[in-house]
Structure 1
């Protein structure tokens, strides 16, 4: 799969003798990697600082993060949040609105209760099956946010993608035009390799999936995959997905094995992959068509792709 167009800037700053340098680190409970053409000194520190910035604002595992402090604030109390935090909340609210509630940032109480948060594994389903997520109010102009009773923020369905974008923006500001950046399976590719090839990446398939993997050319594009095989929890001998349907308050059971979304923004790819996972194959692809989203959904032994995804095959 290739982008619909190559930008003229793709070939700028790519000398014949340019080499790719590679770096790795840890963040957000996973590993990050960077492959960059002629990066400046201090690139590791700069990329890591961007990720640390996201953790300091949006991690539910850091007790003194802005998110954790907000979740400890009384329900109904307005709190002012930093600009980066506000950008993620605004994007999440928009995805939630367009998906008719299939995506929500206010599922923190659910993720904690089911054992996916900082509190650790759950012991029984009976005490948590009736939980329903509350809501949040957000004023983007003043960057104020407040939570309703029963609502806790959880940005795990979108913040990792935002972290990729923030680090990518830092690299671009340092005049690094050609690179591939990954955080735990969320990727963004800018420019091209020194040999003129784009950044080719293979889409991760669920275990035991019989179909062939897609190979994507990430040229000024991002890709995110949400899959039920990555995380789950076993309670009373039954395995539950880590993805919740905010409308029911329950882990999904719709046959979706994975959803991959290609988008200019890694944050949006991340958030939409989560939303389409909740919607399921038919409703998810229908919404992807409506929103011109390049998406591939693997569900119930079949592959479902949107028109925008197919357009990248031409």
Structure 2
């Protein structure tokens, strides 16, 4: 996934690190667009119309991604790989044009049991959801090894279970985007995950414009400058990750309204000419009281 991971564990067994690394390697083998032989890369090369049997983890993430696409009316799109490549954020050596299709990319993916196929020239890209899934998978693996108290992190997405050795919860600080003067968001993670999407994490400059890696499927282009970060808390890191991506694309009005309707604890930070503007959902406000 091209990122780092860390884990703070209470009384871990001796084989814990090897088990974690094996689990992450399995996810990379299935869902990394940067690995030519991964399952997702092989799927993206299958002839249009041909079915492919998907490995279980990839199938889980694809189903979740398509569900989020339906819920968000396409603001989240797990089949946006061609647009990611077009704007220079994919594994292609240089940007390349995305093929023209008649519908949203996610609508060109069909599922039948454990098989999937493309009905148009689209490409899967799980960059807005896979890290969260990996956090969930790592947490499940630790629990299977008998580890009940831990704080884990993959590429900035975190989950805490149980308590620290001093019986205190796992407190984490969500730092503000660089250069913006807003308070640190301090959260206790106990059976809870937090994911943040930010325009400062991965971008490239084109003239004076900062091009975010977050692509708006409706525009076929990076999101307009403005949304600096979105943080979402959820029981499942995969869904926290997907929701953070979704709200980032939808923006403060529509995105935070959707989060509020679904009772999500979420914060959005907007860059303005006057500095930072912070939005919080009622669920997050209650959590912080």
Equivalent residues in 2 for 1:98-247 (5 A)? 98-122=71-95, 128=97, 134-135=105-106, 136-139=108-111, 142-235=113-206, 238-247=209-218
TM-score under structure 2 length normalisation: 0.93
Conservation of the 8 A alpha-carbon contact between 2:32 and 2:40: yes
For 2:52, the equivalent position in structure 1 comes to 79
The Cα shift of 1:33 comes to 0.5
Specify the SS of the correspondent of 2:92: coil
The Cα shift of 1:307 comes to 1.3
For 2:69, the equivalent position in structure 1 comes to 96
The Cα shift of 1:128 comes to 4.2
Specify the SS of the correspondent of 1:201: strand
Conservation of the 8 A alpha-carbon contact between 1:108 and 1:151: yes
Equivalent residues in 2 for 1:293-312 (5 A)? 293-300=264-271, 301-312=276-287
For 1:278, the equivalent position in structure 2 comes to 249
Gaps in structure 2 of 5+ consecutive residues: none
Residue 60 (structure 2) pairs with residue 60 (structure 1): no
Conservation of the 8 A alpha-carbon contact between 2:85 and 2:98: no
Conservation of the 8 A alpha-carbon contact between 1:130 and 1:249: no
The Cα shift of 1:237 comes to 5.5
Q: Distance in 1 between matches of 2:155 and 2:196?
A: 10
Q: Cα gap change, 1:145/1:130 in structure 2, threshold over 3 Å: closer, same or farther? A: closer
CA RMSD of aligned residues (A): 1.7
CA deviations on 1:126-182 (whole Å, 9 max, x unpaired) are: x74896663333326x12211132310000110011011111100001110000000
For 1:262, the equivalent position in structure 2 comes to 233
Query: Which deviates further from its counterpart, 67-76 or 226-235?
Result: 226-235
Residue 211 (structure 2) pairs with residue 250 (structure 1): no
For 1:45, the equivalent position in structure 2 comes to 18
Conservation of the 8 A alpha-carbon contact between 2:6 and 2:152: yes
Specify the SS of the correspondent of 2:288: coil
The Cα shift of 1:42 comes to 1.2
Specify the SS of the correspondent of 1:154: coil
Q: Cα gap change, 1:129/1:145 in structure 2, threshold over 3 Å: closer, same or farther? A: closer
Q: Distance in 1 between matches of 2:14 and 2:157?
A: 25
Conservation of the 8 A alpha-carbon contact between 1:259 and 1:277: yes
Conservation of the 8 A alpha-carbon contact between 2:193 and 2:235: yes
Q: Cα gap change, 1:148/1:205 in structure 2, threshold over 3 Å: closer, same or farther? A: farther
Q: Distance in 1 between matches of 2:138 and 2:23?
A: 5
TM-score under structure 1 length normalisation: 0.86
Q: Cα gap change, 1:207/1:131 in structure 2, threshold over 3 Å: closer, same or farther? A: farther
CA deviations on 1:61-85 (whole Å, 9 max, x unpaired) are: 1111110000000112121101111
Q: Distance in 1 between matches of 2:94 and 2:204?
A: 8
Q: Distance in 1 between matches of 2:98 and 2:204?
A: 14
